């Protein structure tokens, strides 16, 4: 059964250097549409859900084109308001070998960042929604966006809409306005019953450094702190990434439930990575898809992990794979040509 899920966040233009070039090594940039919450909305729409994006875009040709791209992938954009201001941008330089990728943000004073809580009629926007999805990118843009995100989360809880939150800590954005990341993210996490975060995100929010020799041990310690701090939290999920180089990495995923049980996926060896941007959003959308479809936690986690793995093969922010491909990956059906 399809369900309505509302994603609140900024729709962005991504300007990337061609291939593995340095930025402006040649006088060209490849333009695509993206943004953390938009990535989740696109994936959920492709999985058959009624995904809605809420936000603001520039009232010009750039905003119109970005909004049209979302509609092309089946996302409901009735909640995306054109407004005076500029589009948020980010510039990507894809790394290679042992040279990491680099992101430069150009999002200050965008039409989205200017819009405070009063810009959105949350009771109307959330009507009929099963979930509201937010991420830590939005409050990092400034006081107005932070206030709007908190208002959205509170309105969702008041309306009985479940809240999911992706930590997505972006230090460069927080530093630009000297925002109190810990206090604001803590307030947002306190409204969520599903949080996507690892031990580093929890350390930022709670100031507790997770101890442990392995990723699983650090995750367990962080989860204990999160469940103690946030009474509404029911599930904490995260990918676990081991980076051998930019092009070769290993990916697994963990989910901890409030009652203490831990679920874990196999490890996937990712080689010849095409684009890892948006993999975390693909993971979040996959887990949400499983829960929306009535799957148990183990199946939802495995679906999210498979979606994240496959995202590494797709250029751009959006995870343009469908449920059949993800299910085939989960079933380990191999790499035969699909005819």
Instruction: List the one residue out of 308, 315, 280 whose CA is nearest residue 37.
Output: 280
Decide if 106 is catalytic.
Answer: no
Report how far apart, in Å, the C-alpha atoms of 43 and of each of 18, 34, 47, 268, 301 are: 25, 12, 6, 21, 15
Reduced to 3 states, what is the DSSP secondary structure of residue 195? strand
Q: Backbone dihedral region of 214: left (phi > 0), alpha (psi from -120 to 50 degrees) or beta?
A: beta
Burial of 33 (0-12, 13-18, 19+ CB in 10 A): buried
Instruction: List the one residue out of 48, 12, 121 whose CA is nearest residue 285.
Output: 48
Instruction: List the one residue out of 91, 88, 90 whose CA is nearest residue 108.
Output: 88
Which of the residues 281, 293, 317, 322 is marked catalytic? 281
d(CA 257, CA 260): 5
Report the catalytic residues. 281
């Amino acid at each position: 059964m399809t369900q309505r899920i509302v994603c609140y966040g900024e729709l962005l233009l991504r300007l990337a250097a061609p291939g593995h070039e340095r930025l402006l090594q040649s006088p060209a940039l490849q333009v695509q549409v993206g943004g953390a919450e938009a990535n989740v909305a696109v994936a959920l729409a492709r999985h058959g859900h009624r995904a809605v994006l809420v936000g603001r875009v520039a009232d010009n040709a750039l905003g119109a084109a970005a909004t049209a791209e979302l509609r092309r992938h089946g996302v409901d954009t009735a909640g995306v308001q054109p407004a005076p201001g500029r589009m948020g941008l980010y510039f990507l330089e894809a790394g290679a070998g042992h040279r990491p990728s680099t992101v430069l943000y150009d999002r200050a004073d965008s039409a989205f960042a200017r819009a405070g809580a009063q810009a959105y009629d949350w009771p109307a926007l959330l009507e009929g929604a099963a979930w509201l999805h937010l991420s830590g990118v939005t409050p990092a843009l400034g006081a107005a966006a932070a206030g709007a995100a908190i208002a959205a989360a509170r309105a969702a809880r008041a309306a009985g809409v479940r809240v999911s939150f992706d930590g997505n800590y972006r230090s460069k954005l927080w530093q630009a306005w000297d925002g109190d990341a810990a206090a604001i993210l803590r307030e947002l996490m306190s409204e969520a019953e599903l949080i996507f975060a690892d031990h580093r995100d929890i350390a930022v929010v709670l100031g507790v450094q997770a101890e442990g020799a392995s990723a699983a041990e650090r995750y367990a310690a962080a989860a204990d702190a999160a469940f103690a701090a946030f009474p509404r939290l029911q599930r904490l999920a995260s990918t676990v990434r081991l980076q051998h180089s930019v092009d070769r990495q290993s990916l697994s995923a963990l989910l901890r439930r409030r009652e203490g049980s831990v679920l874990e996926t196999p490890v996937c060896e990712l080689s010849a990575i095409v684009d890892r941007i948006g993999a975390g959003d693909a993971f979040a959308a996959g887990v949400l898809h499983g829960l929306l479809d009535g799957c148990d936690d183990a199946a939802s986690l495995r679906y999210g992990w498979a979606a994240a793995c496959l995202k590494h093969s797709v250029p751009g922010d959006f995870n343009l794979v469908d449920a059949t491909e993800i299910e085939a990956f989960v079933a380990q059906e191999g790499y035969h040509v699909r005819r």
